[in-house]
Amino acid sequence: MHDLLKKFENKKAEIVFEWSDNESEAEGWVVINSLRGGAAGGGTRMRKGLDKREVESLAKTMEVKFTVSGPAIGGAKSGINFDPNDPRKNEVLQRWYKAVMPLLKNYYGTGGDMNVDEIHEVIPITETYGLWHPQEGIVNGHFHATEPEKIKKIGQLRQGVSKVLEDPHYTPNGPKKYTVADMITGYGVAEAVRHYYKIWGGQIKGKRAVIQGWGNVGAAAACFLAVEGVKVVGIIDRDGGIIREEGLSLDEVRDLFIARDGNKLVAKDMIPFEKINEKIWDINSEIFIPAAASRLVTQNQVERMVNAGLEVISCGANVPFADPEIFFGPIGVWADKRISVLPDFIANCGMARVFAYLMSKKAEVTDRAIFNDVSKTIEKALNKTFQENPEKTNIAQSSFKIALAQLV
């Protein structure tokens, strides 16, 4: 596995597009790791301090993810180094998408990612430049679709990704309406945990979970885990968090989901970040969902959670461990040797899989069909890993071995 990983990590990206905004300090990159299958896919993220290396590593992560989610294409990523809270954000995004439009027309498909919203930012902006859908480049480059096929696939994408959820099984109660894009990644992260206990053995009901990050991924994962009877005992977000050792009720978790300010946790009894960061890693819990930014989880934090009874990590964030390596460094390996680590390219493949499903000939654009398809895709990937390795340790490394064998 390590030889395959090294070979894949060291291979130079096929295309690197670099951009400097002439009206602000923003800079950005599209990294296309390869045009495997004639196209590449990966979302657009924005954060202050982002650099080309981060985008390169995420593009490689996407390529591995497509071995699970499909279609059989290359990995890519867009990254913009700019403060997403700056009032000029929308203008920066407009100039960015204008610059990358030739790629999006021909062989690159994108979507939302950290601090960039698929429904409210990516789709409306790219539409103004004549793009039918941000995945149009994949429809053209990979599927070589005829005009009627292209109309059908893009019609399914337009309808499915922005679809307002109606089935109460897939959305929290409340006045706000949520879309497939809002809930699907967190759903997949939670389903990975459910399938893990089903395949490797154990009862999910009554387990305790700690959630890192309260954006769409972490908050949705918490909701779906709570439905399965998991007790959410701790939440840590950028400004603070909550500890409830007896577990939050399903209604309390849903209320916290609905009460968010954008992607921020809002709660009456919020503990300041410094205090919660001291305490949360020692709470007794079996499930950990890292769903904030990449490379945040330290060796010390993992060791403390393992000592407190941790059984499984379901990676909601791409590359959650604070290792410099692109995929898997010493912290990830240490955790993988001691507990069950469900890797990001399986656990958080939900959105990538939705795109692949909606581009297929048999897609059914209903809440149940879309969510069931994501669940089955994750179950199939974990079953493959179980055939390779029925032990509860080294799950991530075994999963990488299966994926990389298809790419190297």
Domains of the chain, CATH where assigned: 11-162 (3.40.50.10860), 169-405 (3.40.50.720)
CB atoms within 10 A of CB 214: 28
**Using N-to-C axis directions, what is the helix angle for 367-388 and 350-358, rounded to 10°?**
120
> What's the average model confidence in pLDDT over 297-320?
97
Cβ neighbors of 99 (< 8 A, separation 6 or more) are 19
Question: Tokens standing for 15?
Answer: 């295309």
As a whole number, mean pLDDT of residues 52-77 equals: 95
pLDDT band at 3 (very low <50, low <70, confident <90, very high): confident
pLDDT tens per residue across span 79-103: 999 999 999 999 999 999 999 999 9
pLDDT (average), residues 388-407: 96
Residue 287: its pLDDT value, please?
Answer: 98
Q: What is the pLDDT of residues 166-211, one digit of tens each?
A: 999 999 977 889 999 999 999 999 999 999 999 999 999 999 999 9
Question: What string of DSSP letters covers 81-147?
Answer: ES-TTSTTHHHHHHHHHHHHHHHHHHTEE--BBTTB-IIIIIHHHHHHTT-S-TTHHHHHHTT---H
Predicted confidence at residue 173, as pLDDT, reads 77
pLDDT attached to residue 408: 86
Q: Note the pLDDT of residue 216.
A: 93
Q: pTM for the full model?
A: 0.94
Give pLDDT, residue 80.
98
In this prediction, residues 339-351 reach a mean pLDDT of 97
* % of the chain beyond a pLDDT of 90: 91
Average pLDDT of the chain is 96
DSSP 37: G
End-to-end CA distance of the chain: 11
Give the separation between CA 74 and CA 41, rounded to whole angstroms.
7
pLDDT at residue 24 in the model = 98
Q: Residues 41-54: pLDDT tens digits?
A: 999 999 999 999 99
